[in-house]
Amino acid sequence: MRTFGIILGAIALLLLVWWLWPARVDPAYWDEPEPPELTGVLEPDGALADAGARGDGLIHSSEDIALAPGGGFYTGQPDGTLMWVSESGREARVVAQVTDNRPVLGLQWHPEGRLIAAASDGVYAIDVDSGAVELISSGPAYRPFGFADDLDIAADGTIYVTDASWRWPNGNGEPSFQYDMAENRPYGLFYALQMDGTIDLLQDDLYFANGVAMAADGQSVFVIETFRYRLSRYWIEGPRAGEWEVVAENLPGIPDGVTGDGTGRLYIAMDTQRVPLLTFLHRNPFLTRMITKLPEWIWLRAGPPRGFILVVDEQGNYLDSWHDPDGRWGMIANVVPDGEGRLYIGSLTAPRAGVFVIP
């Protein structure tokens, strides 16, 4: 009986410490809507089983992909390097050391010929032939980039870039995006950046501002808000210039990157289908605060990813979807069309990229 009492006392003490221990996050309540049913064009079809692997085991991941003019592709790595992977996928080499151990995320070619990279702490220009790297901007002086994430570039050379979360910086060995996900507050920012470092804030108060894609006519630019499951756009030109518009809400998965093909089709990379754990966290801020006091390996267990590619038009209408049946592609982070009927698949977690022939 005494032993039982000691055990109960120890449990009570642990619960008290857990209760009093300061929380890292201050979660907000959101009555997250139920996701749309995966029927019709959203039906999980397993089509991505037919995608071929590139760089398998030669790269750590492939958060974003930029096609190489001479064949193959470039992709950034979590250790701050930029790698080239051959067309066959059987060769890979380091092209440049972009950052000092901060992830290289978004990639896009600039009209002047250099590869532009969003790399958590800044936006960089890379000469892929020499490996020379130039910092274009580390963000505004009053709020440096915490999580420069994705970008696209207009015909005039303007770089449109997201800072996913100024509150939870990326690249310090902590699961920063998961804390932003749990806190559920609008820490995302969206900027227009020039090559001379001039930077203008276009939109703030975004929920993990992520993927960026120019519209086919160049008059607007699309932005993904990952933890609100929505696609929005900022109007650059025309009678609506300066306006922010929500295009599609309550998307059927957790969206990451978005890429346009120049014809009005947008390819949205879904890390995974919607996750019940995330719905629970958003609807229960007090419990979220308590749960996030536990080690990450305990509370960040949402199950294996079920990634897919969602195709929409520029009005947000669903056109098609292609699903990963077995998790081979991990959390799908970006999709890049090559203009020849194929999509390159970038993964946040899998040690490979994919090439998928559009049905």
* DSSP string over 110-148: -TTSPEEEE-BS-EEEE-TTT--EEEEES--TTS--S-E
Quick one: CA torsion of 93, 50, 342, 315, rounded to 10 degrees?
-120
Question: Strands 123-126 and 81-85, how do they pair?
Answer: unpaired
The pLDDT tens digits for 47-58 are 999 999 999 999
Q: Locate 339 and state its tokens.
A: 């203009």
The rounded Cα 93 to chain-centroid distance in angstroms is: 24
Distances (CA, A) of 95 to 131, 285, 291, 354: 6, 44, 41, 20
Structure tokens at 252: 């059927």
Alpha-carbon distance 322 to 252, whole Å? 13
Would you state the structure tokens that stand for residue 242, as one six-digit string? 């300066």
Q: What is the DSSP letter of 350?
A: S
Per-position pLDDT tens, the chain of length 359: 667 556 665 565 555 555 556 778 899 999 999 999 999 999 999 999 999 999 999 999 999 999 999 999 999 999 999 999 999 999 999 999 999 989 999 999 999 999 999 998 999 999 999 999 999 999 999 999 999 999 999 999 999 999 999 999 886 666 678 889 999 999 999 999 999 999 999 999 999 999 999 999 999 999 999 999 999 999 999 999 999 999 999 999 999 999 999 999 999 999 999 999 889 999 999 988 988 888 776 666 667 899 999 999 999 999 999 999 999 999 999 999 999 999 999 999 999 999 999 99
Per-residue tokens: 302: 């949402």
CB 106 within 8 A of CB 224: no
CA distance 349 to 254: 15
